[in-house]
Chain A
Amino acid sequence: MWKTVLKREIQHNLYSLRFLLSLALILAVFIAGSLSFVRHHAADLDKYRVARDLAVKAVQTDAASGATNLAVNRRSYDLRPRDNGFLADAKEKYLPNSLTYSAWNVFGFANKSGSANPYLARYDELSWAFAIALLVSFAALIFTFDAVSGEKESKTLSLALANPVSRGALLFGKYASAVVSVMAILAPGVLVGLLILTLAGTVSWGWSLAAEVGACLLAAAFLAAAMSAFGLLCSVLARSSNVSLLLALTVWLLFAMVIPNSSGFLAKNVFPIEKAESVQKRVQQALDDLSKAAPPGSWMMNSNNPFLPQHELRANLMRKRMAAEKAIRDDYYRSMFLQFERTRRLTAFSPVAAFEFLAESIVGGGYPRFRRDWDDLHVFQGRFLSFFQALDAADPKSPHWFNPRESVSTTRQKVSPDVVPTFSERPMSFADRLGSAWPYLLVLAAAAALIFSLGFGLFVRYDVR
Chain B
Amino acid sequence: MVFHIAKKEFLNNLLSARFLIGFLLCLVLIPFSILINVDDYRDQMSQSKIDRDAAEKEMTEVRVFSTLRPMVVFSAEPLGVFGKGLSGQVGNQVGIRLGSKPLLAEGKTAARDNPFLASFFSVDFVDIAAIIFSLLALLFSYDALTREKEDGTLRLQMANSLGRAKLLAGKVVGILMTLLPVVVFCFLLGAIIVLASRDLVYSAGEWSRLILLALVSLAYLVFFVFLGLFVSSKSRGSVSSLVVCLFLWVVLIFIVPNLASTFAESFVPIQSRDNLDSVIADMDKGLDERIQAATDKLPPSDWNMNWWMFGGSDGERETYGCTASHFERNRREMALSEPLRLDNADRKWAPQKAYLDSLSRQARVAEDLALFSPAGIFRAVATSVCGTDRRAQEKRLEDVRRYRETFVSWLKGKNLFEKYEYITPTLPSAFKTRDQLVAARTGGRFKTQAEYDAWADKEPDFRKRWQVLSTVTLPGDSPEDYPFLKLGDMPRFLERPVSAADSMAASLPRLGLLLFECIFLFALAYVAFIRYDVR
Contact = CB atoms under 8 A, between A and B. Distances in A.
Contacts of B58: none
Contacts, number: 219
A113 B273 contact: yes
Given A40-B266, A117-B362, 7 more contacts: A35-B266, A47-B273, A54-B274, A114-B272, A243-B17, A246-B18, A264-B110
Nearest to A303: B462
A120 B362 contact: yes
Interface in A64-91: 91
Contacts of B264: 120
Given A25-B251, A135-B250, A249-B135, A32 B244 contact: no
A43 to B, nearest CB: 5
Interface string B366-380: 100000000000010
B270 interface: yes
Main secondary structure of the interface of A (DSSP, over half): helix
Interface string B246-274: 11001100110111011111110110111
A277 B114 contact: no
B267 to A, nearest CB: 6
B117 A340 contact: yes
B267 A273 contact: no
B139 A257 contact: no
Interface stretch (A121-129, A170-178, A413-421, A441-449): A121-129
Contacts of A22: 247
B89 A118 contact: yes
A333 to B, nearest CB: 9
B48 to A, nearest CB: 13
A339 to B, nearest CB: 6
Contacts of A277: 50
B113 A275 contact: yes
Contact of A253 (B39, B131, B363): B131
Contacts of B277: 113
A118 B104 contact: yes
Given A25-B250, A36-B266, A265-B122, A273 B113 contact: yes
Interface string B84-115: 01100110000000000000110010111111
Interface stretch (B21-29, B197-205, B334-342, B433-441): B21-29
A94 B390 contact: no
Contact of B122 (A261, A300, A343): A261
B463 interface: yes
Nearest to B275: A50
A322 to B, nearest CB: 22
Contacts of A18: 243, 247
A39 B267 contact: yes
B184 interface: no
A134 B21 CA distance: 22
Contacts of B210: none
Contacts of B192: none
B123 A258 contact: yes
A119 B116 contact: no
A103 interface: no
12 contacts: A25-B250, A40-B262, A40-B266, A46-B272, A123-B258, A246-B22, A250-B25, A260-B120, A262-B123, A276-B113, A303-B462, A310-B463
Contacts of A339: 114, 116-117
Contacts of B114: 267, 273, 336, 339-340
Contacts of B116: 95-96, 336-337, 339-340, 367
A300 B465 CA distance: 13
A274 B275 CA distance: 35
Contacts of B240: 17
B463 A95 contact: no
Contact of A260 (B112, B121, B135, B379): B121
Chain A CB within 10 Å, residue with most, of B16, B262, B263: B262
By Cβ-Cβ distance, the 9 closest A-B pairs, closest first, are A114-B273, A263-B120, A36-B266, A39-B266, A119-B363, A91-B119, A123-B261, A40-B266, A340-B116
A122 B359 contact: no
Contacts of B360: 119
Contacts of A268: 39, 43, 113, 117
A32 B262 contact: yes
A21 B39 contact: no
B243 A257 contact: no
A450 B383 CA distance: 42
By CB atoms of chain B within 10 A, which of A123, A146, A366, A367 has the most? A123
Contacts of B259: 29, 32, 126
B71 interface: no
B363 A117 contact: yes
A243 B360 CA distance: 45
A188 B137 CA distance: 33
Contacts of B244: 17, 21
A110 interface: yes
A50 B366 contact: no
B527 interface: no
Interface residues on A, range: 35 or more
Contact of A51 (B16, B121, B239, B274): B274
B363 A261 contact: no
Interface in A234-283: 240-243, 245-247, 249-250, 253, 257-258, 260-265, 267-269, 273-277
A53 to B, nearest CB: 9
Contacts of B473: none
A242 B393 CA distance: 44
A109 interface: yes
Given A17-B240, A118-B104, A40 B265 contact: yes
Given A40-B269, A242-B17, A250-B25, A343 B462 contact: no
Contacts of B18: 242-243, 246
B400 interface: no
A300 B462 contact: yes
B390 A119 contact: yes
Given A122-B89, A268-B39, A300-B463, A138 B266 contact: no
A130 interface: yes
B118 interface: yes
B81 interface: no
Nearest to A245: B242
A92 to B, nearest CB: 8
A121 B272 contact: no
B274 A50 contact: yes
B378 to A, nearest CB: 13
Interface in B121-175: 121-123, 127, 131, 135, 139
Nearest to B124: A261
B401 to A, nearest CB: 16
B118 A95 contact: yes
A368 interface: no
B38 to A, nearest CB: 11
Nearest to B257: A123
Contacts of A94: 118-119
A117 B104 CA distance: 11
A124 B121 CA distance: 9
B415 interface: no
B26 to A, nearest CB: 12
Contacts of B363: 117, 119-120
